[in-house]
Structure formats: C-alpha cells, structure tokens
Structure 1
C-alpha cells in the first residue's frame, strides 16, 4: 500500500487492526509474562489510560541528559517511566539510556520516540532491550496521521513483541492532530505539548480522548512559562497541571539532580491557595505572550517557513538551552528557516497570541543559524 488514502479507508484499515491483529500482538506479549516494574519510593502513581500501566505522576524525559548517573538516580528514587529518542543529543541520550538499561530495565516502563515504519531493531540494540513499552512517533499534522503505513507498522511490531503499546507525540497543530488520533482507535497513548499557556485550548479535546478511547496522556513541554521562575513558582505550576485528572504523567526533560528532586517533590501534592497566588502574580501575566504551538503560523506562510518549529527552538533558547536550540534549529531544512521569511506578515495575522513573530524568528535565526 502506498500513497495517500481517504479518511474512510484509513479508518477501515485501523478498525480492522484494532479488532484483530493488534490484539494478537498483545496476547503474544502477555504470553511472555513481561514483568511490571515493582513500585519503590514514595512517588504517587496514576493509571496510563487503557494501557493500565501504573506510572509515576512525574516521569523522566531524556532530551537534555548528559550523565547516566542522573537517569540512575531518577530510577532509584522511584520514577518508573522514562523516555528517549535516537534524535536527542545526536544519539547521546539513547546511548546513555542503553547503558543504564543494562542493570535497571526491569524497574521502568520505557517509551521511545521513533517512527514504527522502518522498524526499531537498531534502537532496541542500543537500548540493550528486546522491547519498549510505548512507541510514540512524532506526528505533527493530519497528513502524517493519515499515513497508511502506520497501522500495519504498529501491528507488526506488536506481533513481534517489540512494542507493547502504540502512541504518538505532537507539539504542533495539536488540536487537529489529537482530534484525528481519536477516530481510528488504535492509539493507546499520546505525548502532547501541554502547559499553562495552552491547556485551556487542549482540555476539551483531551476530555474527548479520555471519554471515547481512554487514551493514556503523557505531558511534554510542561515547563513552558515556568522556566527561569523561582523554584516555588515552578512547583506550583507543575501542581496546577497535575490538578487535571486527565493528566496521567508529566514527562519532564531533566538536566540535573536539583531539577529531578524538585519534580519528584510535586507528585501527590495539592496546590495550595498561596501557590495559586504565586502563579497569578508571576506566571499568568506572561502567558499571553507565549506561543501555544497551534501551528497556524506555519500553515499560513506562503513561503514554506516552518514558523512553529522556529518558535519551538526559540523556546529552548529562552530557557537557556542554547546547544539544544541550535541542534533543533539546524535540523530544519534551510529553505524552511527564517532565512526564507519574506516579511509578508501572514503568520502574525493568524496568531491568536498576537506575537511579533517576524521579529522573533529573525532574532532566533541570528543566534541559532
């Protein structure tokens, strides 16, 4: 099968897989009696949707990791869900994860961001494991979601016992992609950019995903609007996100032990009245100027500039993560960088946040190119 397929054909194919072959994959894995991580530590747990996995309210994102000792500490302190990708740190992250998995694989659920289409054998070898628990390919458009190869590729990996649950990750065109993901019914988990800046916009579709498919919901980009704030403000912001019963875990990129301990400390804790006051004073006034990753700017650009991706790189830069920002910016095709901006202003005309996009992407290009 190749090329585009209609929505009806895609749903028909997906339904067939959900109702038949994929279940066979689940049974194969169940037959192998894969052990679940034993609970240790005092981190509060939540159920990851229909996967029924009991995961810690805060989990470990590996995009910034430099030292295997940090991941070892996270696991030893009780975090039981960790996430990496072969693209993080030009392969550094997944290699570190693989080193740690030699002795701690049975203590965690492992999530991998990678397309299923060409398989994951190389990644499994690097990770020193036979399988990953959750596979979340990056799908940032309805067109990507409609790829007819996806259902079959997921089914094959499940049947072979190389993945347990299928999912996707998204930080652009989020509402459209989430709505599309609900329809086929074969996605078990979603990893979504969700934070104080965009949660009000995403909550209705998140509620629908939970109600109709009971999809597991893992949060990324939780720190948006919080980076650089005082520790007590950051903790309040994370607690605010965890107030939503539909949030199963905050998957937070962690770069040092202090951040790790701060993240763990918010799990299972209620947001206090004084913390709400901190958010209203120090965070709420800044949210109006933050990009909410709706993707309208990229769709409006007649010159193919990936405005939303550039803004995401700028977010890393604004958070003080210069090397990560440069790495991500240089992964964008040159023709889609800010160097191809013609100053037409169409991106700004559709921006719901009224951001001065042209000025920002020029600044980001100057620093990151």
Structure 2
C-alpha cells in the first residue's frame, strides 16, 4: 500500500492532543460521553460512534479511543497492508474485555486473524458482500454455523459497499444475518432509510460506514452536526468511522448523545443539499457497462479519493485493473443514464484512472 507520511506539524499537534489527554483523562469526560444503542437482536449495547481501523497503524490511537468509551471496533487483515490488524492485536492483549470486536473476513479465513488479534473469538464476523445472491451463499452460511458452534464468533453479518438496496432486500428476506454494515451517508440516507426500518423490524443490527461522506473535517462544527443528522434515524445503531489520529478520535467523541441541537440543524439547512447532491449513493445501478467496466467499484474508488483516502483508493483500483479497465470505456453514457442522481460518471471514471492508474 502507498503510505501517507505524517507531516512534522501533524505529528506535533497529535502529540500535544494525546499529551493533554494523558495528563487529565477526565478533561472532556463529563460532556462527551457517547450514547449507546442496542445493535438489533444481538442485544449488544454499542456506542453510537464505533472505531474503524481502515488506515490505523498506531495502537495508541485505538487504546485512547477505548479508554474514552468507544466499545465497538472493526478491522480486517487487508487494512493498512496488515498493519491495522496487528495494531488491534497489540491493544487486545490488555483490552479485549472492554470492547465488542468486529472483523471483516470470510468464515474460512478466520483462524489466522484470531491469532494476530490475540483472541479466540470475535463478536461479529462481516465478510464483504456486494451482490444479492451472495447473501445466501451456502458455503458462507455453513461456515458461520460452524464457527458459532466452535465459539469463534458470536454473531453473523456482512459488509456492503455497492448494490446496497438490492443486497439489503435479499438479507431482509432471508432473515439469517444479525448485522448489516452498509455505506450510509447524507448522499443515500433517503434511499436507504425505508430499508433500514424494515431490517430493524426483523431484528437486524445496523452499522453505518462511510458516514463521513460529504462532510469536511476542516469544518468541525458542520462535521459533527452532519454525523448527528444521520443518527436521527434511531435504526442506525452506530456510525463506524475510520480513525488514525488522537485528534480524529477527539472530534468524533463530540457526537456525544447523538442528539441534534437546534443551532446545528440550522447550520445544516444550507450545507446538506449542496454536499449531498454530488455524492454517490452506492446503489450500483450504474453497473450496466456493455464493455464490462466495473463502474460501481471505480466510483467507490472516486469516493475514497474525494475524502482523502488516496492510499486506500490506489490499492482498491489496482485490484480492479485485473478486470475490464476504464480504458475499455467507449463513452456510450449508459452508466450516466442509469444514475438516479445524474452524476457525471464518465468524467469521474476518467479522473480516477488518470490519478490512480
């Protein structure tokens, strides 16, 4: 993976943040305690903000987040070139009993991850699923049952980045999975809220990832308000947010109770329509290319670039180039005609290829 180097200014600022917290661990505790919600039929009481390890390398950041009250954490063997899961494993040596641990991995590959994580079980196993037919894959379901009997997992679920409505429909109908980890943000919340309501009625827990889409950390007030806006849907049990620095943890903790204040709602009136209009809904309807270009997956890479995760975007795009690359595109425009938001998809495909190829 292409690793972004932390600048000297960022390093010093982060060190100062951590130093202040270490010197007075109760400094912010009173007014920033995170609310909790019950994660569906799992009955796990999870904080409304959970810790995503997509780019994590420093175990001290995870340790600090747990000390500050975040109780649901998530990683995968491939995150940060394997450095994330190793950082998690370091922290789990002393803090496994303080958290619910979620892992993105297929059932057949879990043993190696458990060893690295220094634990003999995970609370939630979430293989990645992006097609409706995968929801009822027999080998996966059998693997889940086998791992449950062996005590290696407590609950089952899946992570979904694209084709989200169709995948959710299939999972709701099947009724097997305990948890869904779905891309959910200001760009697709109106489309997904009715499906979330149905899923919750079936007892399915909802974890929302990529929730910072369309929100800018540079405007912290609007950023935190945007997260609270998403949490207005009580069926969204937790926002899984990637964190790599002490400052990011501190910012996310400001979600607090998750209740949107009147001043924050006013702030968002002008901000949200503009921010959400150009954001991909991850619906997968653009996957209609006659040349076989993986349009939805490339759009996913575009969103990674847009939010500043360039290293993640490069790795994801490199994997995609084994199939039909962007260069197969003949500008027929079918993908754009199928997009419910009318996004300039061909232009974005071209930009991604130019930047990441």
TM-score under structure 1 length normalisation: 0.86
Q: Any conservation in 1 of the 2:33–2:253 contact (CA below 8 Å)?
A: no
Aligned residues: 327
Shift of residue 81 of structure 1?
0.4
1:296 matched to 2:285? The reply is yes
Equivalent-residue separation in structure 2 for 1:295 and 1:224 (angstroms): 17
Q: How big is each residue's C-alpha offset from its partner over 1:174-227, in whole Å with a ceiling of 9 and x where there is no partner?
A: 11100100122220111010111101100111111111x211111101001103
| Aligned ranges 1:88-167 → 2 under 5 Å | 88-116=79-107, 118-167=108-157
Q: How big is each residue's C-alpha offset from its partner over 1:118-176, in whole Å with a ceiling of 9 and x where there is no partner?
A: 24101101111000000011111112223221221110000000000000111111111
Q: Any conservation in 2 of the 1:85–1:112 contact (CA below 8 Å)?
A: yes
Aligned partner (choices 335, 340, 351) of residue 323 of structure 2: 335
Shift of residue 351 of structure 1?
0.6
Equivalent-residue separation in structure 2 for 1:131 and 1:272 (angstroms): 39
Alignment match, 2:249: 260
Q: Any conservation in 2 of the 1:297–1:351 contact (CA below 8 Å)?
A: yes
Aligned partner (choices 319, 326, 345) of residue 333 of structure 2: 345
Aligned partner (choices 255, 258, 273) of residue 284 of structure 1: 273
1:58 matched to 2:34? The reply is no
Equivalent-residue separation in structure 2 for 1:44 and 1:276 (angstroms): 19
Structure 1 range deviating more: 327-336 or 302-311: 327-336
Q: Any conservation in 2 of the 1:338–1:365 contact (CA below 8 Å)?
A: yes
Alignment match, 2:194: 204
Alignment match, 2:10: none
Q: Any conservation in 1 of the 2:89–2:118 contact (CA below 8 Å)?
A: yes
Q: Which consecutive aligned stretches of 4+ in structure 1 deviate over 6 angstroms post-superposition?
A: none
Equivalent-residue separation in structure 2 for 1:156 and 1:248 (angstroms): 27
Q: CA RMSD in A?
A: 1.5
Q: Any conservation in 1 of the 2:136–2:174 contact (CA below 8 Å)?
A: no
Aligned partner (choices 300, 304, 308) of residue 312 of structure 1: 300
Equivalent-residue separation in structure 1 for 2:240 and 2:48 (angstroms): 9
Structure 1 range deviating more: 340-349 or 279-288: 279-288
Aligned partner (choices 180, 194, 206) of residue 217 of structure 1: 206
Aligned partner (choices 162, 172, 177) of residue 182 of structure 1: 172
Q: Any conservation in 2 of the 1:119–1:157 contact (CA below 8 Å)?
A: no
Q: Any conservation in 2 of the 1:228–1:319 contact (CA below 8 Å)?
A: no
Equivalent-residue separation in structure 2 for 1:294 and 1:264 (angstroms): 30
Q: Which runs of 5+ in 2 are unaligned?
A: 1-29
Equivalent-residue separation in structure 1 for 2:208 and 2:320 (angstroms): 24
Equivalent-residue separation in structure 2 for 1:304 and 1:310 (angstroms): 12
